[in-house]
């Protein structure tokens, strides 16, 4: 079976030795499974229970997933919290593309419309698939300030891989995974990728001949 798509879609310059008429892209090559379908479900279940316990229920909780896979995880958390509490917290999604601090280095791409429920006075739980440098979380916090003034903001991530570059820490973590900077983590969800799993691997440059 083909591997999952690269989690971040980065395209470098042509590597040494490339010839005109060929293009290089990064292809994710998995080498280990961090979470399988059951593990991922258990992680979501545990985070849902922790959110309810910490906030003494879910009456004031709003879940906001960072597109793309963070939004899927946010919906799953809302469903699980409803099963626990009998009340489904509002869930939405946010596109951080225009708030990234590398916007001058890459062309921003709209992922999907931002759809965030009212957040004024609420406890907003930001949801992302992987916490790495912390820069995506910072961008999401900036985006939230343009949408309202929540009572508090908490962070839930499926995977924390370390290597923080900003003073950001998750309140809820599905699994801590020590990684090398040369490694990549790919989160796959059934709604987008057709399967639930988290893979550890590397992005390797591949050369593809361009159409002439």
Condensed to tens digits (0 to 9), the pLDDT of residues 74-130 reads 999 999 999 999 999 999 999 998 888 766 656 656 557 789 999 999 999 999 999
Contacts of 88 (CB under 8 A, 6+ apart): 78, 79, 81, 82
- In the chain, the domains with their CATH numbers are 34-209 (3.40.50.2020)
Q: Residue 25: which H helix or E strand, with range? A: strand 22-35
* pLDDT > 60? residue 31: yes
Sheet containing strand 123-131, strands side by side: 91-94, 61-66, 123-131, 152-160, 172-176
* pLDDT > 50? residue 22: no
Q: Cis omega before residue 62 (within 30°)?
A: no
- Calpha distance 57→73 (Å, rounded): 19
User: What is the pLDDT of the chain when averaged over all its residues?
Assistant: 86
Percent of the residues in the chain that have a pLDDT greater than 70, as a whole number:
80
Facing residues of 65 across strands? Answer: 93, 127
- Calpha distance 178→152 (Å, rounded): 28
Determine contact, residues 129/73, Cβ cutoff 8 Å. yes
Of 16, 87, 18, which is closest to residue 51 (Cα–Cα)? 87
* pLDDT > 80? residue 16: no
The whole-number pLDDT of residue 14 equals 35
Determine contact, residues 64/128, Cβ cutoff 8 Å. no
């Amino acid at each position: 079976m083909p591997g999952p798509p690269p989690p971040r879609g980065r395209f470098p310059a042509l590597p040494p030795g490339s010839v005109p008429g060929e293009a290089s892209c990064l292809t994710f090559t998995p080498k280990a499974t961090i979470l399988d379908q059951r593990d991922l479900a258990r992680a979501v279940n545990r985070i849902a229970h922790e959110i309810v316990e910490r906030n003494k229920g879910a009456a004031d909780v709003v879940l906001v997933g960072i597109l793309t896979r963070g939004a899927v995880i946010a919906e799953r958390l809302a469903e699980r919290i409803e099963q626990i509490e009998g009340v489904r917290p509002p869930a939405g999604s946010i596109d951080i593309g225009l708030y990234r601090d590398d916007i001058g280095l890459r062309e921003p791409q709209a992922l999907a419309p931002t759809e965030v429920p009212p957040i004024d006075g609420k406890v907003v739980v930001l949801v992302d698939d992987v916490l790495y440098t912390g820069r995506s979380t910072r961008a999401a916090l900036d985006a939230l300030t343009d949408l309202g003034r929540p009572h508090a903001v908490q962070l839930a991530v499926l995977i924390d891989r370390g290597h923080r570059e900003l003073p950001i820490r998750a309140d809820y973590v599905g699994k801590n995974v020590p990684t090398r900077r040369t490694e990549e983590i790919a989160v796959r969800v059934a709604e987008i990728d057709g399967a639930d799993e988290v893979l550890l691997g590397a992005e390797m440059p591949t050369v593809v001949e361009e159409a002439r």
